Amino acid sequence: MPDATMPVEGANEVTHRILAHYRVHARDLPWRSAPGMPPPDPYAVWLSEIMLQQTTVTAVKPYFAKFLGLWGDVTALAAAEDAAVMRAWAGLGYYARARNLLACARAVVAEYGGAFPHDETQLRALPGIGIYTAAAIAAIAFGKRAVVVDGNVERVVARYFAVEMPLPAAKPVLREHADSLTPDTDAGDFAQAMMDLGATLCTPRNPACDRCPIMSSCAGRLKAEQFPVKPPKRAKREREGTVWWIERAGQVLLVDRPSKGLLGGMAALPTCDWRGRAAMAPLVAEWNVAGQVDHVFTHFALKLRVKSAYVTEDVATALGGRWWPIDRIEEAGLPSVFAKAAQRALGLAADQ
């Protein structure tokens, strides 16, 4: 097997093959320019990259279109109300991204007059923009030479160089290998070419090696699915809790989550701290058990018992909440876990 630290072909030839493949097979995505065309709007690149963090392209497309329709540039987004942005983001998950999105938009307007900086260091100083996102914006939106390494790129590089070191320790090594292939020009197209290679051919399972433009010199092609090497998975912690559906005259009581922490600032149904089922209800009422919803967060799996009650008194102020029309519950911007609970309370959820 070839030395894992050196490609069989020269870096220039490998890069050329990847770019040539991209020019023919590039994915048509709403936030991209076609290969060889002028760079896309930096706002679109930034918005898409934030949305795509830990989220699929398929899931992001409608949200991207929605945000562009509501706030067509960074200045408009910076002026938006926090609650409106959180409602528009609802269902996309990882809600800290939405809060950082607003903070970043406002910083770009306040510090740079509404124009994104070109420099990676300046980009990294903005809220919610890390090493990867800064490099992606610099390369794709501004044509700068930047080393763009996401999960797809890591997989391609780990296989091509047959990197035996497991993640996450291997990340600096994989970045060095990606750097060795990144051209001085066309860095934006190259970054997107590598992402496409990982997303469409060099997939985690059943990679299409026979259609890969660099298969002939890939050191790991004979055991591709073994790369990148990953540490053993840890079982997710399990947590339990109760959520309360409080109904009155065709409306349901909603509250706002604390601004910091999990689902911060989002509209929600009243709930406990998810430490157990023996939670005290927010008010005395005749509670009915509507069922249970299961939801998986990044660090834990949640089993949430749903209880419902009908009240005649206006308890919204006392409970720090507000009434929302039940027939417009889909417009409330509930995060997925509470949207599931609402469906369960309304008897619309399938048995789990």
Catalytic positions, please?
49
Which distant-in-sequence residues (6+ apart) come within 8 Å of 103 by Cβ? 127, 128
- The answer for residues whose C-beta is within 8 angstroms of residue 249's C-beta and 6 or more apart is none
Token pair 């970054």 is found at 191
Q: Can you list the positions of beta strands (E) in the chain?
A: 237-248, 251-256, 267-268, 288-296, 300-310, 322-325
Q: What amino acid occupies position 9?
A: E
Angle (CA) 230-234-235 rounded to 5° is 140
Any idea which residue has 């709930």 for tokens? 271
- Residue the block writes with tokens 């809060």: 99
DSSP 244: E
Kind of pairing between the strands at 300-310 and 237-248:
parallel
Q: How far is CA 320 from the centre of its chain?
A: 31
